[in-house]
Amino acid sequence: MENDSAISALSALAQATRLDVFRLLVRHEPNGMAAGDIARQLDVPQNTMSAHLGILARAGLVRSERRSRSIIYCADLDGLRALTLFLVKDCCAGNAELCAPLVAELAPCC
């Protein structure tokens, strides 16, 4: 991941509704959610939700696929992994003991 991609992803998440959307989609992996269901659950107008989902998609944090008449959105876990690895790539100057608490915190969720 390059700086520009990381900045785009972090900028997309630096807005309350988009952060809520992303966290909601992570909770609904691997099935994802329809755009209308996301909007209803977060009480956001559908046209506003479409704009938020577009920003997250361009930032590489969500992906979509058409299923019948619905567009289903999923968190792009590869994008999240790339962003996380970019942020900690030089963690602790290679001293694994210092990074151990971070790795331990991430492990139970996955």
Q: How far is CA 80 from the centre of its chain?
A: 6
pLDDT digits (tens, 9 = 90+) for 59-70: 999 999 998 888
Averaged pLDDT for residues 21-49:
95
Residue 85 has pLDDT above 60, yes or no: yes
Q: Assess whether pLDDT exceeds 60 at residue 110.
A: no
Question: So what's the pLDDT on residue 108?
Answer: 61
Domains of the chain, by residue range, sit at: 3-109
With CA atoms as reference, report the closest residue to 38 among 27, 77, 79. 27
Most confident range (mean pLDDT) of 11-15, 67-71, 93-97, 106-110 is 11-15
The confidence band for 73, taking pLDDT boundaries of 50, 70 and 90, is very high
Length of the chain equals 110
pLDDT at residue 48 is higher than 60:
yes
Select from 17, 46, 18, 39 the least CA-distant residue to 9: 18
What is 3-109's CATH number?
A: 1.10.10.10
User: Is a pLDDT exceeding 70 seen at residue 79?
Assistant: yes
